[in-house]
Structure 1
Amino acid sequence: MYQERGVVWNDISRGYDSEDPNNKANVELKGEGVTVTVVDSGFNNPTVARDIQNKFGLRGTILNTGRYAPADATHGIQVAEMVGGNTANGVAPRVNLLLADITRVNADGSSGLLATADIYQQLWNRGARIFNQSYGISKQVTYFNDNPRSAYYYGHQFNQDILDFYTDAVDKGGLFVWTAGNNRGERESSPQAALPYFETQLEKGWLSVVALAARDNGRLGDFSWSNLLPYSQAGLAKNWTVFAMGDYVFNVKGSNYIASGSSFAAPAVTGTAALVKQKYPWMDGNLIKQSILTTATDIGARGVDDVYGWGLLDVEKAMKGPARFDSRITLGEDVNVTIPQGSYAFENDISGDVGLVKNGQGELVLTGASSFTGDTTLNEGAITINGKSYGSAVNVGRNGTLVANSTVLSNGVSNDGVVVNNGNTVIENGYAASANSTLVSSLDSRLSVKGGVVLNNSTLVLTAEKDGQAQYITAKGVTTEAITSDSEINGEFGIVETTTGLLNAIVNKTAENVVAATLSRQNVETFVANSEARDAMTESVASNLESSFSALYRQIDANNAENSTAFAQDAALLQNSLAAVSAGQTAVLDSLSGQIYASAQALTFQNAETVNKDFTNRLSMLGSLNNAETVNKDFTNRLSMLGSLNNADNTVGVWVSGIYGNGKLKESSFGEGKTKTYAGQIGFDKLVSDNFILGTAVNHSTADVDFNRYGGKSDAKGVGVSLYGRWSDKNAPWYLQGRVGYGWVDSDVERTIILDSNNSSTAKINHKDKVISGYLETGYDFKQGNFTFTPYIGVSHDVVKRGAFSETNSQFGLTADKATYQQASGLAGVRMSQAINFESGVKTTLQGYVNH
């Protein structure tokens, strides 16, 4: 505590900064998405229209109240600027503002402020839940009484319909912020600010704000602590009173001046309420009020006192949620927190004399030490305790989850839902579990209980996690003490489970007060073989995974884990995600298959082919013939035409072919690949002697394949050259023809490797291949006029030299050295051709073949 001539400062955790008296400089929230209303004067004043535009832009909406202010009415502009102006004064500079002008001009030309229930209702209907009122009667609340027959009855100052609106709005979560008054030395607030003194039902949604200001007008602008004194005091309203700075520099109509008063302290609190609402959108007015009051800096007499109430506004601390669960704010009730969804943290240490009731499916995280003495009732959702200590007795309901991260729960836990222990948690005053409850224990976590344990055939779930990170479990297993007690453990766990079907869990009482748990890994092949996901591809992947996991275990067992840390981390993720396999979900296994590389050879052969002349032949062979064979057939067709139709007169030939095709690469129990192929070929051939035709050709092709079941996709581009020839005797029906070819294929492969739902990587590799092809065919031509029927046989030999590749983006990526693949085949077939000669000299040949 220190005192510099004037107000006593009690809080050693915060120092006073004269340049930031409300402690808001480090707050990043701006009030986006929150609507606040300012009920005041001067908004319907044409002379300040430019100021409104400059200070609020499109965020400021003027309500049509039917009131008009005189030219000198600027009070509301300054108040609204404090709430949400885009100047240095604005506490919530991006809040949406509803501006309600309630100026009332009297017959004698004087003016005052008069709100109506209708105006308030319009504001409510437009989304306002936080209301700023920087005005009030210049009398202390004690000037009035609650006797309806008295001339000083407080009710004479309020219309009943407004009181009804206040009551209804507060019940629905509204918050009303009032200025307390500006009469220095008065011990009480105005009747508006202190209205809950008479209307007690309003207290949960009511705030009274008093200003700290310069000692006298001659020292305005001197914000040093020793120069500050309060205006009116908290008095009877102390339980809902907070202080804030009351002196600010404003610019209105182009002029700068310093204004002083509680009128400008109240909107600083209102702006803070908007920021709290932005951070905790589920908070009602009472919870916002708790966050503001309980985080205020204690000044004056220690505690909540008659002069300063809860103390000086601390905007930054209010952004961290309440610092007390206090009956003076909750009116004796527990603090009710309802979080519909999402995760939100209270970051302050929390003391107090009432408890906490948690509803809603969302999560409340408590990061500070909690010493409030009331019970914690967890009905729904989760409470996560990250603080070092928690003094409240915890009752976990059927739909609740308590997460304890190495904390001390000093008043016992009653569990009818789920308790998750991460780290070393201590429960004092006993742990009692119902038969419906679950205890979740992570790897190397220990729950130490003092005061007795009742397990009651509850469920134990073991997770392969440590400090929130998945851990790899070997087949040998890991043993940990799941729960210990300072006395005999009563009962046992009726069910023991793991979070993934790949893990086995065994629980034993190693002593009367110790329950030990062992986690070990199943054989991946056995696990997949017994799952709904079983097929040839998943079993192949399971075999490879088991080999990888076994190799990792050998490294760990040899104390060589340091060299395999990254692999172990990925293996842990994969180990946990394999739980879905038992339900037939194969995405993870499918993505690890590497099927595309096994199927890529067929694509490489396709990439080298210039397919037959018609699409029917090409499509019928796609996927069943290798690329080199198809090129051979294309050349064979060309040579057959030249040889069989006596084209000796045309000793040089030029030909072009082009194709488009689509098809499938499909094998039972594996992924299916959809293919698209584009190819073109140009050739030149010459009759070099009566019996021999020689030619050369160049081809280019592009083949794409896209596999389902996370197989990946490939884009292969190929270029090839061929030399071909045919020997035949014009006087004999026998022929011999063949081709040799050399091709280059450039393949880009992309596939996704999935380790779990939140961890996947894309592997992109390129490999360059070479294709060497040879083909030889002989046949016999039976001719009848322009029709030729040719039975033939042929042999081919193809070599694909695949380039090396390595997938580097995942520990489970594939690496392969260069490899050579060879294929030899023979075929027999018949070919038929019919030449058609037109009178114009044009000749057309129809040709088809069947082979096997």
Structure 2
Amino acid sequence: MTGAQLKTTLLTTAIDLGDPGVDEIFGWGLVHADNAIRGPGQFLKDTTFKADLKLRPTGSANHYYFLNNISGEGNLEVLGNQGDYLYLVGEQSYTGTTTVTSGNLVLTNSYDIYTPAVIEQDYFTRAKVKTSSLNVALAGTASLYGVELTKANISGKLQVSNSKVNNLTLQNSSWLIVNLNAVNSWDGAKLTHGLETQTVALDGVLTVAPVVNQALTTASGELEVITWKTKSGEFAYVEYKDNAYLTLSASEQSYTSTGFKVKYQVKNSVAVATSLTSASEYSLQDQETLLTGATLLDASLTDVALTASDLTTEEQATLASIQNLSTEQARDLLISQSGVSYSNLLQATSQANLKTTLDFTKTAAGRYLTLDNSVHAYVDAHYQDQDWSLSSSFLKGTFNNQGMTAGAYKQVNGYNFGVAASYATGNWHEGIKGANYHLTKAKVKTSGLTLTFGKASNQYWLASSIFASYNRFDVERSSLEAYDQQTKFNATSLGLDLQAGYLALQTNNFTLEVRGGLIYQYYRQGAFKENATNTTAESLAFEARSRGTSNLYANLGLKANYNFTTFALPSALELEVNAQQKLSNNNFKVKFAQGGNGASGFGHNFLADLNLGYSLSLNESFTIKLVGSYVKASNWESKEAKLSFDLKF
């Protein structure tokens, strides 16, 4: 503001003392700082309050708010750049003219600025702005949100949402943008017009844009987006904007005696998902994921109570955000709301737990009868990289974890014994191919214990292991914004591993054995509830029940071992090929407290495992071994490097 404008603001917001109005003793009254900071209280007669939004310190805000009910007979003129905004909030009683020469003027009945996603009946009590005329020049823009004006003459841009202008004149250079809303009534939320007029002169460009819609049921029809009693002229050009949930198009008879009519087609989330899968070549898993997410999203929107009379501002903002998503954004939201990320996370950590157990079981109990009765102290360090992706799918993910296993094993009188503890940490990410962000990410900590016992002979070995693991997850998921959902939860697994080996071929330097077995795992995911980082995302937060699932796996493979020397030190090369078949269904779907299950994740019902190892004995007691492994399923793969140390004493 200029110095004169600051003075006007202080005077017109002062507390009146003495006789009403300005008197000789108290003048304008007592300065009221709280009122003054809300902007002027009057526009004085025969003056024009020039709000020059370009007069600001470098780097300061370009959004300014006048929150008082401004009275008086003076005028207002707004000047600014394209990104400068002045907001007049609530009732305005001044009767002078309002001119937007350049910049933006926003007239709104609510400090929330935007029109709610679903308008309650009492929202139609619009804020009355008593300016004698709103004039918008070619370089200016005015936006009306839930207000009523007497007169407007538009040469520039006018954006309208749930507002009324009794006498509206649109020049041939004007651009009118009418936003559609939904209004609550006793029988549900329905679309309603965005602009109401009495007398209107049409010209220029009209854009009809969906701000929000009910988005719970599929519906179609025609709607007058502008209403009038008297009309002259027609628009030079009309365009229709769509979003994922609402399609607008021209009516066969756009101009009627009472308004401008358009056709609309409303979709719910399931319909959006169906159109997505039919428009592109998605895999069956993609289709399941999208439809599951859509069903759960529609259910959550129903829980928000779209037809209830107590819809909160936060819930309205949620619906507005969802219903204005682009096709790609809607797809990403449906994927995220399907719960598939949690299924994939549980599967990835479960598979990592199984491999740790199986590797130690084969090391400690996969031994034939030997004269070696020493205690072997065993330590390994590993790095594992799991990736899942399908050529026909848009979903991809990765789980990188590193950890170590420490234990001991021994053979006594033809029996193998072993015990080991393990610990690992990992980072998990899942997202959309080609996108530079993730739908979900998590930090994972795992601790485990394995006890193994087995029988050894010259020709075969038998092994059994009892194992347990504990996983701790710290998850961040994206719904409407990046990582706006957060939760922490636990999972535990218990299992029994039965393995056997048979020596099929043996020479001086070479052995070949057949290996196979069964693994039973009981995996229990703890209950969790997501916490939204903002109020808009609260309605989309997951609450999952705890659930247990049993999985059974069968594995069969061959292991070849070739002994030689490296610099006179005993060495060996190992090549092992295994196949693993899951004998139970994918049971890692999340079970939601509000009902329904999440989508299934990537599949590893059948996988092939290739291991290549090199060991070097530095002396009779100490051996170093390096193993690389590659595991492949239809849409999942794992690569691992492991360095182990074996010391016997």
Partner of residue 594, structure 1: 340
Partner of residue 429, structure 1: 167
User: For the pair shown, which has the larger CA radius of gyration, 1 or 2?
Assistant: 1
Partner of residue 360, structure 2: 631
**TM-score, structure 2 as length reference:** 0.68
2:28 is the counterpart of 1:311:
yes
Q: Tell me the distance in 2 between the aligned counterparts of 1:416 and 1:482.
A: 20
- Cα deviation per residue 1:60-91 (whole Å; 9 max; x = unaligned)? xxxxxxxxxxxxxxxxxxxxxxxxxxxxxxxx
2:259 is the counterpart of 1:514:
yes
Q: Tell me the distance in 2 between the aligned counterparts of 1:716 and 1:335.
A: 65
**Greater CA drift, 789-798 or 363-372:** 363-372
Q: Tell me the distance in 2 between the aligned counterparts of 1:568 and 1:291.
A: 37
Q: Tell me the distance in 1 between the aligned counterparts of 2:332 and 2:347.
A: 25
Q: Tell me the distance in 2 between the aligned counterparts of 1:807 and 1:605.
A: 22
Q: How far is the alpha carbon of 1:356 from its aligned partner?
A: 2.2
How high is the sequence identity, in percent, across the aligned residues?
Answer: 12
User: Which of 320, 323, 346 lines up with 2:38 in the alignment?
Assistant: 320
Q: How far is the alpha carbon of 1:453 from its aligned partner?
A: 4.2
- SS at 2:395 equivalent: coil
2:3 is the counterpart of 1:285:
yes
2:105 is the counterpart of 1:382:
yes
CA 1:300–1:533 in structure 2 vs 1: closer, same or farther (change >3 Å)? Answer: farther
2:387 is the counterpart of 1:665:
yes
Q: Is the 8 A contact 1:464 1:473 kept in 2?
A: no
User: Which of 223, 230, 243 lines up with 1:500 in the alignment?
Assistant: 243
Q: Is the 8 A contact 2:441 2:477 kept in 1?
A: no
Q: How far is the alpha carbon of 1:781 from its aligned partner?
A: 4.7
Q: Tell me the distance in 2 between the aligned counterparts of 1:679 and 1:790.
A: 29
Q: Is the 8 A contact 1:481 1:514 kept in 2?
A: yes
Partner of residue 452, structure 2: 722
Q: Tell me the distance in 2 between the aligned counterparts of 1:744 and 1:773.
A: 11
- SS at 2:362 equivalent: helix
CA 1:494–1:546 in structure 2 vs 1: closer, same or farther (change >3 Å)? Answer: farther
After TM superposition, list the pairs within 5 Å mapping 1:148-297 onto structure 2.
Answer: 283-296=1-14
Q: Tell me the distance in 2 between the aligned counterparts of 1:553 and 1:301.
A: 57
Partner of residue 344, structure 1: 65
After TM superposition, list the pairs within 5 Å mapping 1:508-657 onto structure 2.
Answer: 508=251, 509=254, 511-516=256-261, 518=264, 520-521=266-267, 523-529=271-277, 539-548=287-296, 572=319, 575-576=322-323, 578-579=325-326, 581=328, 586=332, 589-590=335-336, 594-610=340-356, 627-628=357-358, 630-635=359-364, 639-640=367-368, 643=369, 647-648=370-371, 650-657=372-379
Q: How far is the alpha carbon of 1:460 from its aligned partner?
A: 1.4
User: Which of 426, 435, 439 lines up with 1:704 in the alignment?
Assistant: 426
- SS at 1:780 equivalent: strand
More strand by share: 2
Partner of residue 392, structure 1: 132
Report the residue type matching 2:561 in the other structure. R
CA 1:832–1:409 in structure 2 vs 1: closer, same or farther (change >3 Å)? Answer: same
2:571 is the counterpart of 1:850:
no
Larger RCO (alpha carbons 8 Å, 6+ apart):
2
After TM superposition, list the pairs within 5 Å mapping 1:103-142 onto structure 2.
Answer: none
2:171 is the counterpart of 1:412:
no
Q: Tell me the distance in 2 between the aligned counterparts of 1:418 and 1:663.
A: 55
Structure 1, unmatched stretches of 5+, are: 1-282, 466-470, 611-626, 729-734
After TM superposition, list the pairs within 5 Å mapping 1:53-64 onto structure 2.
Answer: none
**TM-score, structure 1 as length reference:** 0.53
User: Which of 450, 467, 475 lines up with 2:218 in the alignment?
Assistant: 475
2:171 is the counterpart of 1:454:
no
Q: Is the 8 A contact 2:297 2:334 kept in 1?
A: no
Q: Tell me the distance in 2 between the aligned counterparts of 1:439 and 1:564.
A: 24
Partner of residue 587, structure 2: none
Partner of residue 212, structure 2: 464
Q: Tell me the distance in 2 between the aligned counterparts of 1:823 and 1:549.
A: 34
Q: Tell me the distance in 1 between the aligned counterparts of 2:18 and 2:421.
A: 93
Q: Tell me the distance in 2 between the aligned counterparts of 1:458 and 1:836.
A: 82
Report the residue type matching 1:542 in the other structure. L
Q: How far is the alpha carbon of 1:327 from its aligned partner?
A: 5.5
- SS at 2:294 equivalent: helix
CA 1:545–1:507 in structure 2 vs 1: closer, same or farther (change >3 Å)? Answer: farther
CA 1:295–1:555 in structure 2 vs 1: closer, same or farther (change >3 Å)? Answer: closer
Q: How many residues align?
A: 517
Q: Is the 8 A contact 1:472 1:571 kept in 2?
A: no
CA 1:410–1:552 in structure 2 vs 1: closer, same or farther (change >3 Å)? Answer: same
More helix by share: 1
CA 1:405–1:531 in structure 2 vs 1: closer, same or farther (change >3 Å)? Answer: same
Partner of residue 767, structure 1: 491
Q: Is the 8 A contact 1:716 1:747 kept in 2?
A: yes
Q: How far is the alpha carbon of 1:821 from its aligned partner?
A: 1.9
Q: Tell me the distance in 1 between the aligned counterparts of 2:100 and 2:346.
A: 61
Q: Is the 8 A contact 2:211 2:324 kept in 1?
A: no
Q: How far is the alpha carbon of 1:440 from its aligned partner?
A: 2.4
CA 1:815–1:716 in structure 2 vs 1: closer, same or farther (change >3 Å)? Answer: same
Q: Tell me the distance in 2 between the aligned counterparts of 1:369 and 1:561.
A: 31
- SS at 1:369 equivalent: coil
- Cα deviation per residue 1:610-654 (whole Å; 9 max; x = unaligned)? 4xxxxxxxxxxxxxxxx53x33432366x15xx4xxx42x43533
Report the residue type matching 2:341 in the other structure. Q
